[in-house]
Structure 1
């Protein structure tokens, strides 16, 4: 049995119980699940039903010809005006069990508090829930970076919420100010969580242009309550439209990369950018996209290894070659 089959089977059973007008016996529910492709016994179904009752799901059990028949109320009632379907409740707890990568972040305690309050409202047995949904896991791409100061996050958020400019000391990792701490005055637009980090999208009030700032690199920040800032509606969707990740520097260009072998299959099966297209060849694929060429994208191309060859543009070819030569030089120095 797959590790997550119990979870998926239970979700399907919830749907069948919710949509069955007359209810289902354990045998009928078992047969329905088998018809849907689940390898399950009547004994397993009875155990699942028992777990659902222990959790606090409102299972209705009536007698039909001397046999118990089960049905489920359509909604879990939280208050007079707030109701959830039981599938929504179940999905909610799957998500909770897979938030470990946020531990250490400024938002984890609030998320944990939210679920604690929901448990009290639902009246659920959390131990039974953990047993039921603990078979499915998600691997986060990157875990939370813990170097963001809570006071920085609070001040930045308040600046966005109250509409005031921010004055901050920021350490840049690229450009003319790389490695230096400089003072910036910005108009805060929104917070952007991506790749395990949190970023401030803001307008540089001195240069009059949009910028992205990693909160982990903000050394100190204060809100200028004597002035007001009206947000201009800068959004991640527009700001990062041509960016491959969170680095928004460089010039956007049409990129074509030839891939072969298992790497070609791996790349073709995934969505890397909204502009992406894949063309199959006799020995692999051509990956095409319109993205900004910068250090972040060059590093990603190099991560594809020898199975990838840049076809266009020449600027990307040169950037990949230069970085690869630098890497090789570092290893040669250490080996000498």
Structure 2
């Protein structure tokens, strides 16, 4: 075994992506890229450097070639940026539409965090296609009213508690109560329903899973006590019975009659998995649903 090509004892080799970024920088600046020497510098074997270069050439389609006269690799043409992802025109369109969707959070506490994440994603794209985004900008738009006023710090704390399975306490203002109440719950899930954020959590005191609107959660704190979320928990199942976010165990048959004008609008959407639309006289309709709770009716 050739020990001089092995990693230095006690050293910390760079992750592959970091190594390839470094190789790209050297190649872009026309610096020597020699597998033996870089293996020592990066504390990996020379074969690892060779595999990195092969990946850059064969998978990332970078213009790499070996110069036998100098025993180094080099770029045969200028490379503007190191590519992380290769996408098709259709995938670029999907990202463009996603960016339009993110615009609904402009002016909210989530704007900065979402914008930074989107920039990191799009900044990693390889320029494999060329087309004009100008027309797309006029072809797609999104307008949202009544966006959630949830606080970003509250969202972060709840998200952390969900992942770490930690109990939380907070002050909460129920819609039907005149004064806030203190709650101690097991947070299970964060759901965005109709552009508003809600926490689904088990309330041990009440023995039920309850839904909490984030804008009405105040002074949340993580309690240094963990819990186990039931394996069978499903946010989809919890929200299925209600019309929106209010779930329940009831079985209420709801029938709503709409005149001909409203009927045209009602037909254009799916309102509930159990819905049935019955046509009546003069273009009127009856919308029938079976709900687990009636708060939103």
Structure 1 length-normalised TM: 0.57
Q: Which residue of 2 aligns with 1:330?
A: none
Superposed counterparts of 1:296-315, under 5 Å: 296-297=296-297
**Corresponding position: 1:151 with 2:153:** yes
Partner Cα separation in structure 1 for residue 120 and residue 132 of structure 2:
15
1:269 aligns to 2:268 (yes or no): yes
Q: CA deviation at 1:242?
A: 1.6
SS at 1:157's partner residue? helix
C-alpha distance after superposition, 1:189-224 (max 9, x if no partner): 011111221111000021221000111111111111
Aligned to 2:212: 213
Matches within 5 A, 1:1-336: 78-79=83-84, 82-122=85-125, 130-146=133-149, 148-174=150-176, 178-225=177-224, 227-232=225-230, 233-248=232-247, 251-283=250-282, 284-297=284-297
Moved over 4 A (4+): none
Higher alpha-carbon Rg: 2
1:249: how far off? 5.5
**Within 2, Cα distance between the matches of 1:241 and 1:289?**
12
Check 1:235–1:136 CA distance in 2 against 1; reply closer, same or farther (3 A cut). Answer: farther
Against the structure 1 CA distance between its residues 123 and 203, is the aligned structure 2 distance closer, same or farther, given a 3 Å change threshold?
A: same
Q: CA deviation at 1:275?
A: 0.6
Find the aligned partners of 1:141 and 1:290 in 2 and give their Cα distance: 28
Listed one character per residue, the Cα deviations across residues 227-256 of structure 1 (whole Å, up to 9, x for unaligned) are 111112533311111211112368431122
Q: Normalization by structure 2: what TM-score?
A: 0.64
Instruction: Please identify, of 240-249 and 191-200, the stretch whose mean Cα deviation from structure 2 is larger.
Output: 240-249
- Paired with 1:78 and 1:133, the residues of 2 have a C-alpha distance of 24
Q: CA deviation at 1:143?
A: 4.2
SS in structure 2 of the partner of residue 294 of structure 1:
coil
How many residues are paired up? 213
Extract unaligned runs of 5+ from structure 1. Answer: 1-76, 298-336
Q: Tell me the SS of whatever aligns to 2:108.
A: coil
For 1:141 and 1:119, locate their aligned partners in 2 and report how far apart those are by CA, in whole Å.
Answer: 24
**What secondary structure does 2:139 align onto?**
coil
> CA 1:254/1:101 → structure 2, altered by over 3 Å: closer, same or farther?
same
When the two chains are superposed, the root-mean-square deviation of aligned CA atoms in Å is 2.6
Secondary structure of the 2:181 match is strand
Structure 2 CA distance for aligned equivalents of residues 254 and 295 of structure 1: 14
Task: Tell me how far apart the structure 1 counterparts of residues 292 and 143 of structure 2 sit (CA, whole Å).
Answer: 25
